[in-house]
């Protein structure tokens, strides 16, 4: 077999533990679900998984190692990611400050448009975090056995397992957060509070990404 079953089982267990520990992706998904509903929460999870698929491909082809070889490029990507998260935070705070005199039909249309953008936002947020691919390079090689050959294929198999496990956890979190958001979103004051919460989460993630130089 390409990967030893025992190694695969250990990898899946480790991936599940990491998926269950709250991190930037899970916080982003939860905040999105609370503010915009269960559909948006699940779409955010799908967007993050799509980003992980890109990172898996990059790691398999050695692009992550190339990025780490040039610290300046790594820093530029990190800062751009932080700027994008600040942009999302500002948008959330502006939504919280918006007057409630808008037409209900227009508000629903804006909410649907927002839901369609969630996937892209989550994808960009994941791609703009170069530390994800650094994690791939630190974690995945522990489970790759060059003696079995097809190292790139092993990377892709492990990446697929990692994404499936993460998606199951993230989508569940996004769905539950969205249901909770629907339950309490009836009042405009609560809606504003949820937008402020989302803005705060995005802002904290931006600061964390910008200042974490490890």
- State pTM to two decimals: 0.74
Cα 174 from Cα 192, distance rounded (Å): 19
Q: Which of 31-40, 44-53, 75-84, 180-189 has the lowest mean pLDDT?
A: 180-189
DSSP percent split of the chain into helix, strand, coil, nearest 5: 85, 0, 15
Indicate whether 113 pLDDT > 50. Answer: no
At 160 the pLDDT is: 94
Question: Which residue, chain included where needed, has tokens 């998606």?
Answer: 167
Q: Which of 119-128, 171-180, 205-214 has the lowest mean pLDDT?
A: 205-214
Indicate whether 187 pLDDT > 70. Answer: no
Say how far residue 212 (Cα) sits from the centre of its chain: 17
CB atoms within 10 A of CB 37: 23
Helix (H) or strand (E) holding 213: none
Indicate whether 72 pLDDT > 80. Answer: no
* Strand, coil or helix: 103: coil
At 100 the pLDDT is: 53
| Mean pLDDT on 32-51 | 91
DSSP 21: S
Tokens found for residue 92? 């959330």
Distances from the Cα of 92 to the Cαs of 96, 137, 199, in angstroms?
Answer: 6, 33, 5
DSSP 149: S
Q: With contact defined as beta carbons under 8 Å apart, do 79 and 210 qualify?
A: yes
């Amino acid at each position: 077999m390409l990967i030893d079953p025992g190694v695969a089982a250990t990898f899946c267990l480790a991936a599940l533990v990491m998926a269950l520990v709250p991190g930037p992706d899970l916080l982003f998904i939860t905040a999105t679900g609370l503010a915009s509903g269960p559909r948006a929460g699940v779409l955010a999870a799908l967007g993050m998984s799509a980003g992980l698929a890109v990172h898996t491909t990059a790691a398999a082809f050695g692009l992550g190692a190339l990025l780490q070889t040039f610290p300046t490029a790594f820093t530029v990507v990190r800062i751009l990611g932080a700027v994008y998260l600040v942009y999302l935070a500002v948008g959330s705070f502006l939504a919280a400050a918006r007057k409630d005199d808008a037409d209900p039909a227009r508000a629903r249309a804006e909410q649907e448009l927002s839901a369609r953008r969630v996937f892209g936002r989550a994808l960009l947020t994941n791609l703009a975090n170069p530390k994800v691919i650094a994690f791939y390079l630190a974690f995945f090689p522990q489970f790759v056995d060059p003696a079995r050959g097809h190292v790139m294929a092993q990377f892709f198999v492990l990446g697929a397992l990692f994404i499936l496990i993460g998606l199951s956890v993230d989508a569940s979190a996004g769905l539950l957060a969205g249901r909770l958001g629907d339950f309490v979103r009836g009042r405009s004051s609560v809606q504003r509070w949820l937008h402020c919460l989302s803005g705060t989460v995005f802002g904290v993630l931006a600061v964390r990404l910008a200042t974490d130089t490890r």
